[in-house]
Each structure stands twice: as structure tokens, then as C-alpha cells.
Amino acid sequence: MLASISFVAVAVFVLMQALKNINYQEVLEAIRDTDAKLILLAFTLVVISYATLTLYDVLALRTINRSDVPYRIAALASFTSYPIAHGVGAVALVSPIIRYRVYSCNGLNSVDVANICFLTGLTFWLGNLTALGLSLLAEPHAISLIDYLSPIANRFLAGALLAGVAGFLIWTWLLPRSFGIRWPIKLPSGPKVLVQISIGIVDLGAAALALYVLVPAGMDIGIGRLTAVFIAATLAGFISHSPAGIGVFDAAIMIGLGGGQGDEQLIAALLMFRFLYHLLPFVTALGLLGVVEVWRGLRTTQQPKRVS
């Protein structure tokens, strides 16, 4: 907790330094001047990202041999748990609680839910680390202002990340793997690991593209550079445990992509992305979970009482 608070405090300080000379009137004007078609395209990419996110749970259910659970249940568990847990900044605590609430009605126990949470987290990290490694190979200087490493060092970092993912892929490909004695956790086989990596990359790529289409073309920010910075910012925000990565994600984006002319346009794009990718799904997930709970409560009260 202390490490998280310190990390967030430093990020907020850096972000405040980056914003102190910003003309907020220009930020509002940039938002108003953004083409509605671009906003619609960004929204579509966000929908694709969250639709891909539901496959995290589908793949986890298949790994633990519970493919009998309908897709709609897996999608409900995934879509409600991720935005809410990430939005309140307690993914490790809130996500299992929501998933258990959803899956328990379909016969899954706490061990099954723990397996699902671990496997979905594994998909997230495999996809993100692979995407970060590939983007750093293409744009090794993209995050130098964030990690203070030279382009050569970032290339070595990319190689180490990809080598780690490749080693895990080979390890799981050779034999079925699991760990734990009392409550063993089954790991996906090699082919399923490849599917995990692909799902993670598509999810992250769609989210990065949603921000990319909102950034004005005049800022001359390439897709490779933006993707590398976006992944680094996402991972930093996730590690910090701050609600929706507030402060940390934004500071990383401003440091990696800003620092010159057009910072107002970048902030405008970041605010619109925040609304589409974080706030809107968070409110929608809360409402959907509330409706499901009310419906289940009404269905329970309407069931006839058993005669002893």
C-alpha cells in the first residue's frame, strides 16, 4: 500500500508539472472541434476491446474444463468485473468477488473462480508483455523518457520480455502444467497460450487505436510510438493500483507523447479516451450488475417455498 501511494504521489507531481502551462480553454475547444466520426470510430474500437476482453473468461473456463458455462455468463462476469475492479483500484480484491457472485449461480465454487481470476490475469500479462516487447523492438526510443533507458537498453528489455514469453510458451507446450498441491491451478497448454497472447494483443491494440484516432494528425505521433507508450502507461497504472490508473496512466502518456506544441490537443484526446474507455464502461458495468442482482432477487422471492 505504501509503495502504491508513493508511486501515485510521484506520478501526480510529475503530471501537475506537465499541466501547469496548459491553456484549458484550448483543451475544451479541441474537444468541441473533434470530428464526431472519429469519436464514433474510437467508441467502436473500445467496444471491440471489451468484446475481446470477454474471451479472457471463455478461455479460462475451457482451461478448467467448464465449457458448459454459457458465453453470456462469461461475458457478464468479464465485463462487470474488469471495469468496476479497475475503476476502484482494487483488482485483486474486487474482481474475484464479482466473478464469484456471477459464476456461483452456475455451479462454480471459490477454487474455480480463483483459477479463472489467475488465468485471466495471465492472459492480460502475456498479451501486454508481448505487445510491449514487439513495440519496443520497432520503437526502442518511444519510452526512453518514461523508463530513463537508452534505445539500446530498451531493445535488450524487449528481447528479455519476448524471451520470457517464449520460454513460458515452450514450457507449457511440452507437458500439461499445473502448480499448487491442495488447490492445484491448471495452466493452459501451449496452443492455448498462443490464443491467450493473441487475445491480449487484440484487446490492447484496439484500446491503443482508440486513443490514436483521437490524437490530431498534426501532432505527428506514429502508431508504433503511441502503442509503446500506451502499453507502458497501462502497465504502470495497473501496478500502481490507483483507480483506473488515474495520475499514473496520464502522467506516462504526457511524458511519452507530450512535452511540446499541441499538448492541449493531446490532453483533449486523453480526456475523450478516458470517458469512452474508463468512465462509460464503469457506469455501464455498475448498472448492468445492479439490474442482474435485482432480477435474481425478484426471481428468488417468486419461487414457491418448499413444504417441510
Q: Domains of the chain: which residue ranges?
A: 2-290
Cell of 130: 508481448
Q: What is the pLDDT of residue 188?
A: 85
Whether residue 70 contacts residue 103, with contact meaning beta carbons closer than 8 Å, is answered with no
Q: What is the pLDDT of residue 248?
A: 85
Compute the distance between CA of residue 225 and CA of residue 46 in angstroms, rounded to an integer. Answer: 20
Q: What is the pLDDT of residue 54?
A: 94
Closest CA to 119 of 57, 175, 68, 32: 57
Q: What is the pLDDT of residue 287?
A: 94
- In a 13 Å sphere around the CA of 76, the CA atoms on its Cβ side amount to 20
What residues contact 28, with CB distance under 8 A and at least 6 apart? 268
User: DSSP letter string over 152-171?
Assistant: HHHHHHHHHHHHHHHHHHHH
Compute the distance between CA of residue 99 and CA of residue 84 in angstroms, rounded to an integer. Answer: 11
What residues contact 119, with CB distance under 8 A and at least 6 apart? 56, 59, 60, 63, 64, 188
Q: What is the pLDDT of residue 167?
A: 93
List the chain pLDDT tens, one digit each, 308 residues: 777 777 677 777 777 776 777 778 888 898 998 999 999 999 999 999 999 999 999 999 998 889 899 999 999 999 999 999 888 877 888 899 999 999 988 889 988 999 999 999 988 899 989 999 998 998 889 888 888 889 999 999 999 999 999 999 998 888 777 777 677 777 888 888 899 899 999 999 999 999 999 998 777 788 888 999 999 988 888 887 788 788 888 888 888 887 666 688 888 999 999 999 999 999 999 999 999 888 888 877 766 655 54
Q: What is the pLDDT of residue 152?
A: 93
Pairing of strands 185-186, 178-179: antiparallel
